Amino acid sequence: MIGIEVLSVFCGPGGQGGNTLAVVRDGAAVPGGRARRELAAALGHSETVFVDDARRGVVDIWTPSARLPFAGHPLVGTGRLLDVQVLHPPAGAVPVRRDGEFTWVRADPAWATGRRTHRYGSPAAVDALPAPPDGEGWLYAWAWEDEAAGKVRARGFPRRGDGIAEDEATGAAALALTHELGRALDIRQGRGSRIRTRPLADGSVEVGGRVRVLRGRAAEAGEDPTAP
């Protein structure tokens, strides 16, 4: 049996929005990169986390097509789920803190490379983009909603060709944008997700948001893991 929990990460104040995340609590039940990639593809979420050591916070992150050394929404979600102060994805140590309904992770902006940000003239222009826009490579489309208040409208397009046309909420891209702008942000992404960020004095960036547990289930070998 494979225990799978599904979370919604970066939810809005009323629980709307949020990017779904699958967490396999017992990573040893799915050994090897090929098996993990296949399960992540079958589940169909933008990312799936395999917990390889719950006590130490060692995790492995997969999209439906590739392994990621770092990703924001999987670490915020897993940070809420596990009782640890530090998570260890392949990129390095990621401190976790919880503040009421918010869970925060702190990371090096260099880990968020490969995500191009592009500023548009208005939130309406961002909303009008097709999913995905023409072109190749990760695109984080954004515009100011209220520049003085640090409020941003954004949409994220992986453009990996793996069936994920648009990311509902994207912590790594939000981290990259925060580093570029050098200021704290309140980001409204996707259908209703909210991401909060702030740059720190040491050059790292904190990314935080609300997390909801949607469901937990166990799948037997050979069973369709996407079945309700």
33 burial class (0-12, 13-18, 19+ CB within 10 angstroms)? Answer: exposed
How far apart (Å, rounded) are the C-alpha atoms in residues 211 and 155?
19
For residues 37 and 67, the answer to whether their CB atoms sit within 8 Å is yes
148 burial class (0-12, 13-18, 19+ CB within 10 angstroms)? Answer: exposed
Annotated catalytic residues are 47
Closest to 221 (Cα-Cα) out of 92, 14, 9, 31: 31
Beta bridge partners of 196: 186, 208
How far apart (Å, rounded) are the C-alpha atoms in residues 142 and 49?
27
